[in-house]
């Protein structure tokens, strides 16, 4: 698994922690910090030994280091799957929309069926058409 792929999964984990209120915001922040560290890592593929160095030098924490190691060795994260639950993974795309909080995303998903950026664009377009 490349650093970019690992970073994508960690970003998704951080998003679903915030969306579901699981664990704490500290874990989400650690995942976000690890994402940034991985994307700036000089090599394309990080090794388990380098993860240990990264964990000891930064604030990503031991649990996130273990998540990264699992991603490298198995290519997947059961923790991410558990957090996601019945939510579609495409919902995480909405986490990049400025000023759209996790609470807003949850209500858009629950009440308007918005599951992705495409759905959000369509909902905005339909709302605009109603207002005209």
- Listed residue (14, 16, 27) closest to 86, CA to CA: 16
In whole angstroms, give the CA distance from residue 31 to residue 112: 29
Residue whose tokens read 């290519």:
75
Q: What is the DSSP string of 42-90?
A: SSSS--HHHHHHHHHHSSSHHHHHHHHHHHHHHS--HHHHHHHTTS-GG
Domain-by-domain residue ranges, the chain? Answer: 1-85, 88-132
Domain spanning 1-85: CATH superfamily: DNA polymerase beta, N-terminal domain-like (1.10.150.110)
Interior angle at CA 98, CA 96 and CA 99, nearest 5: 125
One digit per residue, pLDDT tens: the chain, 132 residues? 888 999 999 999 999 999 988 767 788 888 888 888 888 887 777 787 888 777 776 667 788 888 888 898 898 899 999 988 889 989 999 999 999 998 899 999 999 999 999 999 998 988 887 776
- Looking at residue 65, its pLDDT comes to 86
- pLDDT at residue number 23: 62
pTM: 0.83
């Amino acid at each position: 698994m490349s650093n970019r792929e690992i970073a994508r999964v960690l970003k998704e984990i951080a998003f679903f922690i915030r969306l579901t209120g699981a664990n704490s915001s500290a874990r989400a922040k650690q995942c976000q910090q690890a994402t940034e560290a991985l994307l700036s890592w000089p090599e394309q593929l990080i090794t388990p030994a380098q993860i240990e160095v990264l964990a000891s030098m930064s604030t990503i924490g031991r649990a996130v280091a273990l998540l990264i190691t699992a991603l490298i060795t198995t290519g997947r994260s059961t923790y991410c799957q558990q957090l996601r639950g019945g939510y579609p993974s495409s919902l995480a795309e909405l986490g990049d929309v400025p000023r759209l909080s996790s609470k807003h995303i949850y209500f858009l998903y629950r009440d308007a069926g918005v599951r992705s950026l495409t759905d959000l664009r369509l909902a905005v377009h339909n709302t605009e058409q109603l207002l005209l």
